[in-house]
Amino acid sequence: NSQSNQFCEAGIGYGEVGCGLSSSTKLLIKGGTVVNAHHQEVADVYVEDGIIVAVKPDLKVTDDVKVIDATGKFVMPGGIDPHTHLAMEFMGTETIDDFFSGQAAALAGGTTMHIDFVIPVNGSLIAGLESYEEKAKKSCMDYGFHMAITKFDDSVSRDMEIMVKEKGINSFKFFLAYKGSLMVNDELLLEGLKQCKSLGALAMVHAENGDAVFEGQKRMIQLGITGPEGHALSRPPLLEGEATARAIRLAGFVNTPLYVVHVMSIDAMEEIAKARKSGQRVVGEPVVSGLVLDDSGLWDSDFATASKFVMSPPIRAAGHNKVLQGALSNGVLQLVGTDHCVFNSTQKAFGIDDFRKIPNGVNGIEERMHLVWDTMVESGQISVNDFVRVTSTECARIFNIYPRKGAIITGSDADIIILNPNSSFEINAQSHHSRTDTNVYEGRRGKL
């Protein structure tokens, strides 16, 4: 796709694997309420060879067409998760969900495409992409890649151009945290922002002040706080707000758009609100954990329970979640990701004596659609059209894959989900499809 939009002038490349429909399949989804971000109507959707051919009421078809009755149900574009980490090597281990198990979980939860982060190998973008292309060979659904930038020199600058012009990667992430591993300093961030601007690519940031986090961690250990609660105490919202403000100002200085990943605090959200109000192009991505959970789990006396909630930036004290929900409904934040990055209890136990060694990350790829529906639509905070926008359409627009993805219109890919608003099931680790043995959303409810 080589369309341009308000954020990226560069197109995205993605793997197209299967889509659940084999070629020459003819399918009619009949009588449902077809919901797009801009419109909804009761209509039939006719699909041929994985492409939507017609969206109209009362379509007549021949006998060889498979018919699904969707009366009383919502027919919507499949979810697109803008933020996942499958088969990622991180903190001395590797995430337990790979491109097969993570995608199987995604599909079970109504997400039909995800965008994962390529991590360079020894700073090399080309080697990083080769490694992720290998990992992604076991894919069972559509995916795309962002690319992390962990060092900057002439070869990285050149490789960024190759990524955009030849590999279809149009978004680059800069980690302002994880001192000693992925973190970049302001000088590198500025170089990266300038190169994003010149390539028409979108810069993304993990916004926490990594130097101050390092200091906060030392303080906790000196105080004898070694449990999972030390993770949250060592990296308060203040440090997320500072890094968000800094990244926004530097992007403003370079005059290039910025995408802030996993907005977890009021502090960070307010910086985004302020920038947007002043006319700066800043996108804010809350993740489902930050929207629906609070930090109480981190204080559980059972290590296995508390450690499963460890992610960065941390899940915040009660109150941040409600305010982030409000910011999603009023448009300050635009789309919902997951940051799905899962480690099992054995991996989390690497940090049993020291919270700094607990691999960071929580699940969500399977639960995102359910929990956004449950928390935002059922409560009346957003409409069904907005649900489609924040779980699918906006992501497709930002990363240049709209309207092939993110819409049920003639000519689009048939990445379609059907949701029954009258159904209900309980989310738990026994029945989920991820390989991990815990679930941070245990006991919450979803729709089938």
Which chain residues interact with ligand URP by CB under 6 A? 85, 206, 311-312, 339, 341, 360-361
Site for Zn ion in 124-143 (CB under 5 A): 142
* Rounded least distance, CB 342 to ligand URP, Å: 10
* Rounded least distance, CB 72 to Zn ion, Å: 26
- The answer to whether 295 and 232 are in contact (CB under 8 A) is yes
* Rounded least distance, CB 359 to Zn ion, Å: 12
Which of 415, 417, 434, 438 is in the footprint of Zn ion by CB under 5 A?
415
* Rounded least distance, CB 108 to ligand URP, Å: 22
Query: How many CB atoms within 10 Å of residue 129?
Result: 21
382 binds, among ligand URP, Zn ion, none (CB under 5 to 8 A by kind): none
116 binds, among Zn ion, ligand URP, none (CB under 5 to 8 A by kind): none
Beta partners for residue 89, in sequence order: 94
389 binds, among ligand URP, Zn ion, none (CB under 5 to 8 A by kind): none
Instruction: For residue 353, count CB atoms less than 10 angstroms from its CB and return exposed for 0-12, middle for 13-18, buried for 19 or more.
Output: exposed
Beta partners for residue 124, in sequence order: 121
415 binds, among ligand URP, Zn ion, none (CB under 5 to 8 A by kind): Zn ion
**Is 208 a binder of Zn ion (CB under 5 A)?**
no
361 binds, among Zn ion, ligand URP, none (CB under 5 to 8 A by kind): ligand URP
**Contacts for 252 with CB less than 8 Å, ≥ 6 apart:** 275, 280
19 binds, among ligand URP, Zn ion, none (CB under 5 to 8 A by kind): Zn ion
* Rounded least distance, CB 178 to Zn ion, Å: 8
Query: Would you say 93 or 383 has its CB closer to ligand URP?
Result: 93
Query: Would you say 32 or 241 has its CB closer to ligand URP?
Result: 241
Distance CA 345, CA 171 (A): 32
Query: How many CB atoms within 10 Å of residue 346?
Result: 11
Which of 8, 19, 176, 233 is in the footprint of Zn ion by CB under 5 A?
19
What residue type is assigned to position 380 of the chain? G
* Rounded least distance, CB 61 to Zn ion, Å: 21
In 252-313, DSSP assigns E strands to: 258-260, 282-284
Beta partners for residue 47, in sequence order: 27, 52
Distance CA 327, CA 260 (A): 14
142 binds, among Zn ion, ligand URP, none (CB under 5 to 8 A by kind): Zn ion
**Contacts for 222 with CB less than 8 Å, ≥ 6 apart:** none
- The answer to whether 251 and 193 are in contact (CB under 8 A) is yes
Q: Which residue is nearest to ligand URP (CB)?
A: 360
311 binds, among ligand URP, Zn ion, none (CB under 5 to 8 A by kind): ligand URP
* Rounded least distance, CB 216 to ligand URP, Å: 16
Which phi and psi angles does 120 have, rounded to 5°? Answer: -60, 155
b (16+ CB within 10 A) / e for 404-431: bbbbbeeebbbbbbbbeeeeeeebeeee
* Rounded least distance, CB 438 to ligand URP, Å: 15
Beta partners for residue 446, in sequence order: 425
Site for Zn ion in 59-98 (CB under 5 A): none
248 binds, among Zn ion, ligand URP, none (CB under 5 to 8 A by kind): none
Query: Would you say 176 or 272 has its CB closer to ligand URP?
Result: 176
Question: Parallel, antiparallel, or unpaired: how do β-strands 258-260 and 202-206 relate?
Answer: parallel
- Given the rule CB under 5 A, which of 39-47, 279-287, 290-298, 338-346 is the region that contacts Zn ion? 338-346
Beta partners for residue 42, in sequence order: 33
**Is 413 a binder of Zn ion (CB under 5 A)?**
yes
- The answer to whether 145 and 129 are in contact (CB under 8 A) is yes
* Rounded least distance, CB 162 to ligand URP, Å: 24
Tokens 């758009």, located at residue: 257
Query: Would you say 288 or 416 has its CB closer to ligand URP?
Result: 288
Query: Would you say 81 or 415 has its CB closer to ligand URP?
Result: 81
Beta partners for residue 430, in sequence order: none
Distance CA 147, CA 171 (A): 6
Distance CA 228, CA 249 (A): 32
360 binds, among ligand URP, Zn ion, none (CB under 5 to 8 A by kind): ligand URP
* H or E element that contains 107: helix 101-108
Which of 267, 339, 374, 394 is in the footprint of Zn ion by CB under 5 A?
339
Query: Would you say 254 or 263 has its CB closer to Zn ion?
Result: 263
Binding region for Zn ion (CB under 5 A): 19, 142, 206, 339, 413, 415
